Amino acid sequence: MIKHILFDNDGTIVDSEIIAVRATLQLLRPYGFDMSEQEYSRRFPGLLERDILAIIHREHGVTVGEDYFERLRELHTTGFENGLQVIPGMEAIFRGVRVPKSMVSNGSIRHVLRCLEQVGLHEALDGLIFSAEQVARPKPHPDVYSFALEQLALHPSETIAVEDSPTGVAAAKEAGLRVVGFLGAAHIYDGHGERLLQAGADILAADAAALRIILEEMNVL
């Protein structure tokens, strides 16, 4: 029996990943780093910005200025204020599920709150926000999911996770959860579903309509 749903935020509830991808590529282009949105999304799904930059530095020799992350935050803020939207169909699901729901994200609590407030869903959150900033290791490690289960006093069998990235799927699976791999965001590319399955996703939802069917079958929607 499902008692709680754990939703990832970026790329699962809000269509923020594509905004972040475009901001990063815009900043890195003057340093000679030129990669398509699709390739970037395929290469770095669900990773922290600092870890992505470390990989790019190691593999491409890109060294950015000291103000890089400040400028990136500014671009994120502008992009979110001007273009952040709920992924089509996810608002109805988020409001309609009949069990409590919490957010489990590699992003900060402040970031998740800002996203939910921006799209008008903050008041619909009837659970908690769990962030990688609260634990020792981010996704793909299981720490943030294990922390959420502990704080909510839930056994893994009593909840499910909805994740869009291989790192998120891997984190939830290592914590013992059943995972729905979600493919409804703008940054998703061909072959992404296979990567989610390889990471351990139990089932795939191509979009919100498919997720609705899955949740209805679980008797939580």
Looking at the structure, give the CATH architecture of the domain made up of residues 4-15+85-217: 3-Layer(aba) Sandwich (3.40)
CA atoms within 13 A on the CB side of 31: 17
Which tops the pLDDT comparison, 19 or 123?
Answer: 123
Residues of the chain with CATH 1.10.150.240: 17-83
pLDDT score for 186: 80
Percent of the chain with pLDDT over 70: 100
Domain with CATH 3.40.50.1000 in the chain: 4-15+85-217
- Kindly report whether the peptide bond that precedes residue 88 is cis, defined as omega within 30 degrees of 0: no
Contact 159, 102 (CB under 8 A): no
pLDDT on residue 135: 98
Instruction: Name the band, by pLDDT with cuts 50, 70 and 90, for residue 49.
Output: confident
Q: What is the per-residue pLDDT across 122-159, written as a single tens digit (0 to 9) for each?
A: 999 999 999 999 999 999 999 999 999 999 999 999 99
- How does pLDDT run across 161-213, given as a tens digit for each residue? 999 999 999 999 999 999 999 999 988 888 899 999 999 999 999 999 999 99
As assigned by CATH, the class of the 17-83 domain is mainly alpha
pLDDT recorded at residue 189: 81
* Residue whose C-alpha is closest to residue 142's, from 164, 108, 182, 170: 170
pLDDT for the residue 140: 95
